[in-house]
Amino acid sequence: MPLHQAAVGSQWWKSGVIYQIYPRSFADANNDGMGDLPGITQRLPKLKELGVDAVWLSPFYTSPQKDAGYDVANYRDVDPLFGTLEDFDQMVDRAHELGLRVMIDLVPNHSSDQHVWFQNALNSEKGSKERSYYHFKDGKGENGELPPNNWQSMFGGPAWTRIEDGQWYCHLFDSSQPDLNWENQIVRDEFEDILKFWLDRGVDGFRVDQPHAMGKEPGLPDHPYVDEAGAGFIEGRENPPMWFQDSVHEIFRSWRKILESYPGERAMCGEAYVLPLSFMAQWVRSDEFHQTFNFRFLDAGWDKDTLVAAIDESFEAFDGVGAPSTWVLNNHDVMRHASRFGGDYGRTTASDGVGPENPQPNNELGIIKARAATLFMLALPGASYLYQGEELGLPEHTTIQPEFRQDPTFFRTSGQRVGRDGCRVPLPWEDGNESNGFNESGKSWLPQPQSYAALSRDSQETDSKSTLNLYKAALKLRADLALGEGSFDWVSTSESLSFVNNGILVVHNFSNESIPFPDGEVLLTSSYGQTRLLPNTTAWIRL
């Protein structure tokens, strides 16, 4: 019996390829240097051409942009930076016309400090109803001058900020992102309504931000091993009081019911950083999330044994609850894989970012491995997530100067952790003006590195060996051969790692020597013009 059996007649989200659009950096129609919704609408045909099934948009809501829009001040409107609600509707209509589904980001763990609820809380008394929407507490120490507990912010520093009347509020991220109190029914009702607002506008689903942070252990006790784990957790140890609380599951169940009450196949994907995957499986039970990101796979890097273990663990855990495995190599929070695989970068460095002072990646090696990794991933059954720009093989921008930095991590750690700006740089569309076709003005909220000109989409379109054309070929074959719905079985986990899916042998050469191609028809390889399978190369072979 194969490790994973083929799914029959499955819904789109079980096998689809979902492309993450980072609106700030995708395309800028009004030339102000910041991407926008009309820019997305204009360029959607290029994503159809690429061959993806759906797009997921990072936040475009009203926001002071302290965390690039993950600080939402109004969940039911579009920030003027990105356009208007009408622009949003046009974008959705255009996507649907092209046969693309649209998922949007939902940020429920925290709002912006500019949200009317938080402003009202600040203007209300201790213990008031207004304060109960968030986690306000008195501090410790004689005069309450110490934070209520030892929790740390994911972006550095304490997870508490003190306000004028002496109380403190909790923020697991930036101080401009106060955590909402999900014990409060009004908060729950409000988010159900927000879901309906966007479902009524036609969205096909949601990517849910930090769902594993929403529940907090009653009384907000100390993190039991903060010295070792900082703001995070250590796999195999007890759950800290701010992560993975059981109370979150009934919230997801109520959301699932709402999604299912709408026509069509609406879906939600949780950005649940929950490990091990056997624990994560509880989050994708049939009445909770449809799927979650597989960070085990992303974190495996390009290490053979870790990768094999991650894939085994994924099929075992997700198949066990009838949920699709998902696969992902990039997003707006980690170093781009074309650079990440060109150096020795673990999970922490990948999300803390790489700056001019850090060891620089070998991008020539990185792109070879990245192309191979993508070909490997796109042949795995399940849903796959792509992040804008990876289809161009864009490297991380690792030499952004401090004056351009925007990530709150950079500011909260006084530049010690440079943060995630390096993977968020505007896309090069046409080799030409200063922003390479991101807009006509040449303005760009983050500068592009010089290497982006040669990687612009138009120059890659005419180059048969380009990364863009490799992605297109892979996505087309994946669809034609129904690999997303297929089955999975290892053939070899020796130096040439190989598996079979729907009669296609997928082989990656992990050794330092070239090896003969296995028998069969070579359909696609991650590097061209070879008679043997080179090191760091993946091939798809019809048996």
By CB under 6 A, name the binding residues for ligand GLC.
67, 70, 107, 173, 209-210, 271, 332-333
CB of 40 to ligand GLC, least distance (A): 18
User: Of all residues in this chain, which one has the CB nearest to ligand GLC in the complex?
Assistant: 70
Compute how many other C-beta atoms are within 10 angstroms of the C-beta atom of residue 395.
27
Cα(489)–Cα(4) distance, integer angstroms: 7
Q: Known catalytic residue: 305?
A: no
Q: Given phi > 0 = left and psi -120 to 50 = alpha, else beta, which region is 353?
A: left
Q: How far is the CB of 84 from ligand GLC (least distance, A)?
A: 24
Q: Provide the CA 370 distance to its chain's centre, in angstroms.
A: 17
In the complex, what is the shortest distance from the CB of residue 142 to ligand GLC, in angstroms, rounded to a whole number?
Answer: 34
Nearer to ligand GLC, 291 or 509 (CB): 291
Structural contact between residues 88 and 55, judged by C-beta atoms closer than 8 angstroms: no
Task: State the Cα–Cα distance between residues 538 and 532, nearest whole angstrom.
Answer: 11
In the complex with ligand GLC, which residue's Cβ is closer, 294 or 363?
294
CA distance 259 to 11: 14
Q: Which residue's CB is nearer to ligand GLC, number 173 or number 182?
A: 173
Q: Shortest distance, CB of residue 209 to ligand GLC, whole angstroms?
A: 5
Which among 53, 113, 209, 390 is annotated as catalytic? 209
- Of 161 and 210, nearer to ligand GLC (C-beta) is 210
Q: Which is nearer to ligand GLC, 24 or 332 (CB)?
A: 332
AA letter at 236: G
For residue 464, the minimal CB distance to ligand GLC (Å) is 35
Whether cis (ω within 30° of 0) applies to the bond prior to 276 is yes
**Nearby residues of 425 by Cβ (< 8 Å), 6 or more positions away:** 25, 394, 397, 400, 444, 446, 447, 448, 449, 452
Active-site annotation holds for 222: no
**Gap between the Cα atoms of 543 and 38, Å rounded:** 45
CB atoms within 10 A of CB 25: 25
Which DSSP category does 218 fall into? Answer: T
Rounded CA-CA distance 171/160 in Å is 6
How many other β-carbons are positioned within 10 Å of the β-carbon of residue 522? 14
14 or 332: CB nearest ligand GLC? 332
Closest CA to 465 of 527, 531, 518, 378: 527
CA–CA separation, 127 and 377 (whole Å): 51
Q: What is the DSSP letter of 359?
A: P
Our measurement of the distance from residue 470's CA atom to the centroid of its chain's CA atoms, rounded to an integer in Å, reads 22
Looking at 113, 179, 204, 271, which residue is catalytic?
Answer: 271
Rounded to the nearest 10°, the torsion over CA 12, 13, 18, 20 is 140
In the bound state with ligand GLC, the residue whose beta carbon lies nearer, of 41 and 210, is: 210
CB of 261 to ligand GLC, least distance (A): 27
- Nearest residue (CB) to ligand GLC, 180 versus 281: 180
C-beta of residue 206 within 8 angstroms of C-beta of residue 194: no
Nearest distance in Å: CB 55, ligand GLC:
16
Of the chain, the end-to-end C-alpha distance in Å amounts to: 19
Report the nearest approach of ligand GLC to the CB of residue 387 (Å). 11
**Of all helices (H) and strands (E), which one includes residue 480?**
helix 467-480
Return the active site residues: 209, 271
